[in-house]
Structure 1
Amino acid sequence: MPIPRKIAVLCLLLAATASAQAAQGLSLPEALSAAFANNPELAAAGREIGIAEGERRQAGLIPNPELSWEVEDTRRDTSTTTVTLSQALELGGKRGARIAVASSGQTIAQLDLQRQRNGLRADVVQAFHTALRAQTAVELAQQSQALTARGLKVVQGRVTAGQSSPVEATRAQVQLAQAHAEVRRAETQRTVAFQALARLTGSPLAAFREVQAADLSPGAAPSTDALLAQLEQTAEWRLAAAQIERGDASLGSEKAQRIPDLTVSLGSQYSREDRERVNVVGLSMPLPLFDRNQGNVLAAARRADQARDLRNAVELRLRSETRSAVSQWRTALQDVEDYERTILPSAQQAVDTATRGFEMGKFAFLDVLDAQRTLIEARALYLEALAQATDARAQVERIYGDVAALSNTTISRSNHE
């Protein structure tokens, strides 16, 4: 009996712990930490560093020596046996050129991992704010449902008193049914948004019941000039520059291949017929009469030129995306501020005024419905403006990483100067 009781108590504690964890909310820093630690795609990208390290190690190795054994005249008494040890000597700096190519591959792997971390950060920020808006949309839909339920109650009272037509009660019932449907749609979208956020954090299920943030807004937009000043420090720009370095290193490696290698041989030859042993020394080198690796040199040169063109294209794209994203961020935040300060309070006041006026018989129920629709549409546009601001922030962080840390670094440098 004691053992089952202990097991039962342990199960209850585990269930309580799981329930408590599920009831907890998820903040943006927690989501980012979980994503960096558990996201399988980021973990797979991190393997590229180990792959590049192995390629760098292999590039530094020298060729293995070659051992050969030959027999002339297979008759036992007259055969001649030769044993030779050959070693290829790489000329023209081939080994150093290989190492340079592999080293640039290591740099590219590290920068690509940083670029993917920035991309994952942007995806998490975007998914978190999408979940936050979906969560807010449920609350707003429930508020709209409460408004329509209140309107239906008022209409039914006036219809009972003979002060309104039954048609208005029907309209109110339709409006309430639509509000119920909107709540269900909002709850479904919230579930989908939570699941998308959980996937980015490396979890198959959303173990949180809510997302927690002090504000729906993604924060103030940084300065465009401050961002562009850091453009050459971004992972994507540095990755494009590293591709140029690898192209130049590959070109150097192909040029080194034009110089043939020298093979040195040292061996011993024994003749059974003469009962005599002699030493054998040899040198061999291919003659570069036809194949001087000219085709590969030309291709490598064109790839190096292509890498420079791509670097210029990347810089042009990043500058354009930065300006567009910051402009969208600021415009959307202005819209959000207008909705929060003026539009939403005025729409809510219009609903309250119309509802009270309808209760007093001063307005028709259509006025109440129009005010409610205006409020619902204003709330939807408010969430859309928030979405545009969040998308712009995600685009900026996809390029520059943590914008808050970048802003703090820029401010500290300015103060230091």
Structure 2
Amino acid sequence: MAHFRFPTFLRISIFLGWLGIISPVVAQPTSTPPSTLPVADTIRQSLPQLEQLFVERNFQLLAQRYQIDIADAAITQAGLRPNPNLWFQGNLYNPNTHKILPFKTPSQADQNAGIYNSGYFAVQLQQVILLAGKRSKLVALAESNKSLARLAFRDIMRTLHYQLYTTYTNLYYDLQGLKLFEDELGRQQRLLESYRIALQSGGVAPYEVTRLEVAIRDLQANSANYQTQIADDQATLRILLRQSAKSFILPTELPPLRTTLPALATALDSAQTNRPDIGLSQEQINNAERSLSLEKARRTPDLTTGVLYERYGNAYSNFTGFQLSMDLPVRNRNQGAIRSAETTLKSVTSGLENQQVVVQSDVLNAFDKLNTYYAQLAARPAGYLDRIQNISVEATKAYNSRSIGLLDYLDKIRTYQQAQLNNLNLLNNLYNTQQLLNYTTNTRFF
């Protein structure tokens, strides 16, 4: 069957329209946001700039820093000794003399007669003395709590850093993916307009126009999917940075891609040494041991000492005495609290062993994923990206010369799109998995 050929002016306009805006989609810095995204409040940020803002503004980091300050104040409080207790007693009303607050010294005649209707008061000063080293054990426990707060801060920092890096990378490649579909959508819309003109003169079949309209709908759906992903990325970054809701954060560049892996043994050792969650598990054991030591010390009652001065109310007129008091540990020897502390110690000890297994598994998982993506990158033949670009160019030439039909042409364009998307996804996965290895080892290998 003979192929219908477009009028010359139409074929040239279609061909130039396609060739003029074809550009390869590879890992290059993004300079402008896609046309469908807001640009009025666009903030161009490199990853180092974003990281600096994150450290200064992130609410969770600021809140956890306050927890460290709170724990530091608790150390100061634990080291304070109990306050002394001052007690005073006097006569409010004497019914014999009908006088209020009769503190005047009685006359000598009354004293000789043994009558003391005024002048009585008593003063007592007491001090609690903590025994069995309770104060030092309280300080040690408070210091351990501060260490836990610091480790929790490091763990939050590690997790949020990973979220920041991966979100930035996702946004970077989501914008490139959206740009790919926007460019393709513009080309096919221009082609559709040309076909509609040709349809009026009977130059093309109606089904070809309909087929192009369907292809454009597919492109619009893919573009919308990327826009929603970009919206999610922006929402995450706004929370991480406490950024204004009106601003659009535009990533400018990614660090150069490194394709060398650290040794597995090095990664495992780094994780066991540097992971704050391992440190948390170890410090929880230390904390539980100190808590148990404190509970055992509380079996010993504290000693209360004091001095008492009493005027006109004891064996003689001016009585000065000393006091010692202590609870007798007959029934309550803190048995329940000790047993609870012992159980907590057993629990956190087994928790450390489990956490070490989890950390090892995390590192192996990240290592295996990264090896897979490196192998996929290395398997790409030389000149692969250039040949991808040629698919679109050659398909356009062939279609304009009517060497291929519309369906064959759209199939080649879909192949071009999928190849570009596969490239973007591979690079995105590589960067994110490198950050995953950094995250699982808490070491900046990349």
Q: Could you say which TM-score interval applies, normalised by the shorter chain?
A: 0.7 to 0.9
Contact 1:244–1:304, Cα closer than 8 Å, also in 2: yes
* Partners of 1:51 and 1:155 in 2: CA distance: 71
2:147 is the alignment partner of 1:107: yes
Number of residues of Structure 1 aligned to a counterpart in Structure 2: 386
Tell me which residue corresponds to 1:28.
47
Tell me which residue corresponds to 1:297.
338
Cα RMSD of the aligned pairs, angstroms, is 3.2
1:288 maps to a residue whose letter is P
| 1:360 Cα deviation after fit | 2.6
Contact 1:357–1:363, Cα closer than 8 Å, also in 2: yes
* Partners of 1:203 and 1:169 in 2: CA distance: 45
* Partners of 1:32 and 1:277 in 2: CA distance: 74
Distance 1:219 1:104, change over 3 A: farther
2:172 is the alignment partner of 1:145: no
Tell me which residue corresponds to 1:93.
133
Tell me which residue corresponds to 2:60.
41
* Partners of 2:162 and 2:239 in 1: CA distance: 14
For residues 144-223 of structure 1, the aligned pairs below 5 Å read: 144-149=184-189, 152=192, 164-205=204-245, 207-208=247-248, 210-214=250-254, 221-223=261-263
Contact 1:251–1:297, Cα closer than 8 Å, also in 2: yes
Gaps of 5+ in 1: 1-19, 408-417
* More displaced 10-residue stretch of structure 1: 179-188 or 120-129: 179-188
Question: C-alpha offsets along residues 129-151 of structure 1, whole Å, 9 cap, x if unaligned?
Answer: 11101211121112322443465
Contact 2:274–2:443, Cα closer than 8 Å, also in 1: no
Contact 1:235–1:400, Cα closer than 8 Å, also in 2: no
* Partners of 1:164 and 1:132 in 2: CA distance: 40
* Partners of 2:285 and 2:314 in 1: CA distance: 63
| 1:374 Cα deviation after fit | 2.3
| 1:177 Cα deviation after fit | 3.7
* Partners of 1:107 and 1:113 in 2: CA distance: 10
2:286 is the alignment partner of 1:245: yes
| 1:62 Cα deviation after fit | 0.9
2:290 maps to a residue whose letter is A
1:261 maps to a residue whose letter is D
Tell me which residue corresponds to 1:415.
none
Q: Secondary structure at the match of 2:301?
A: coil
Distance 1:21 1:153, change over 3 A: closer
Distance 1:357 1:133, change over 3 A: same
Distance 1:252 1:153, change over 3 A: same
- Over the matched positions of the two proteins, sequence identity in percent amounts to 23
Tell me which residue corresponds to 2:306.
265
Contact 1:148–1:179, Cα closer than 8 Å, also in 2: no
Contact 2:274–2:442, Cα closer than 8 Å, also in 1: no
Match of 2:264 among 213, 224, 228: 224
Question: C-alpha offsets along residues 235-260 of structure 1, whole Å, 9 cap, x if unaligned?
Answer: 22112111111111101101110111
Q: Secondary structure at the match of 2:355?
A: helix
* Partners of 1:89 and 1:273 in 2: CA distance: 27
2:94 is the alignment partner of 1:53: no
| TM-score, with length taken from structure 1 | 0.82
| TM-score, with length taken from structure 2 | 0.77
Match of 1:63 among 69, 82, 87: 82
Contact 1:125–1:394, Cα closer than 8 Å, also in 2: yes
Gaps of 5+ in 2: 1-38, 95-101, 103-115
1:379 maps to a residue whose letter is Q
* Partners of 1:273 and 1:197 in 2: CA distance: 77
2:354 maps to a residue whose letter is A
The structure with more helix, counted as a fraction of residues: 1
1:212 maps to a residue whose letter is T
* Partners of 1:74 and 1:182 in 2: CA distance: 92
* Partners of 1:171 and 1:96 in 2: CA distance: 82
Tell me which residue corresponds to 2:18.
none
* Partners of 2:55 and 2:313 in 1: CA distance: 72
Match of 2:297 among 244, 256, 266: 256
2:317 is the alignment partner of 1:276: yes
Match of 2:276 among 224, 235, 238: 235
2:59 maps to a residue whose letter is P
Q: Secondary structure at the match of 1:35?
A: helix
| 1:341 Cα deviation after fit | 5.6
Contact 1:23–1:209, Cα closer than 8 Å, also in 2: yes
Tell me which residue corresponds to 2:168.
128
Report the structure number with the largest CA radius of gyration: 2
2:66 maps to a residue whose letter is R
Contact 1:137–1:186, Cα closer than 8 Å, also in 2: yes
